[in-house]
Amino acid sequence: MPDSDKTDGGTALNRAAPGARLDESRPFIPVNIAILTVSDTRTPETDRSGDTLVERLTAAGHVLADRAIVPDDVSAITERLKAWIADDGIDAVISTGGTGVTGRDVTPEAFEQVYEKRIEGFGEAFRWISFQKIGTSAMQSRATAGVARGTYLFAVPGSTGACRDAWDEIFAYQLDFRFRPCNFVEIMPRLREHELAREKTKA
């Protein structure tokens, strides 16, 4: 995005999503984000989509907590997700790749195995954004999101364009504590409140 559209934290304020507004009384809070590329063929040298997400999250002021490439295999994906979910130093995971409908596209199936709660609106919003650009082809995307053990999990398609759209149109706002009327960051401390309630009951 053009530098003229950026402010503290790298958010594109000049083209904020409808209804979104910046609350300048709030501080910018960096989010620790892990990037997962799901692909049988990409390498660290050729992973342009992963690079796109890393470049955007760091430019926005967030922290790259970890990064990995795994094959299109449910077990490999869930193993990596579970390791990051168990890591208290990781707040969110964004994966790229494997969200289509071909035989090797199994990222949504892997994510479903670890979700505690789904965020249905993420996939709906992503496909709506894609529809504005690629029309009915957007329905082939199975972008998905959810929460597990207080960690946000997001899965977007493998193209660099899809990664740009997901960051610029969704993550730039929902992972920025300053944006109203609500965002994922402000409710982050409450994602595990049910666990605390159970612990108090046992005590």
Q: What is the pLDDT along the chain (203 residues), one digit of tens a residue?
A: 333 333 344 444 445 566 778 899 999 999 999 999 999 999 999 999 999 999 999 999 999 999 999 999 999 999 999 999 999 999 999 999 999 999 999 999 999 999 999 999 999 999 999 999 999 999 999 999 999 999 999 999 999 999 999 999 999 999 999 999 999 999 999 999 888 766 666 66
pTM as predicted: 0.89
Give me the helix-helix angle, 74-85 and 107-114, nearest 10°. 40
Supply φ then ψ for residue 19, to 5 degrees: 90, -15
29-202 — its CATH code? 3.40.980.10
Supply φ then ψ for residue 74, to 5 degrees: -55, -45
pLDDT at 31: 98
Distances (CA, A) of 8 to 3, 76, 176, 178, 179: 11, 37, 11, 10, 13
Point out which residues pair with 145 in neighbouring strands. Answer: 154
Containing H/E element for 180?
strand 179-180
In the chain, where the domains are located? 29-202
pLDDT at 56: 98
pLDDT at 15: 53
pLDDT at 195: 81
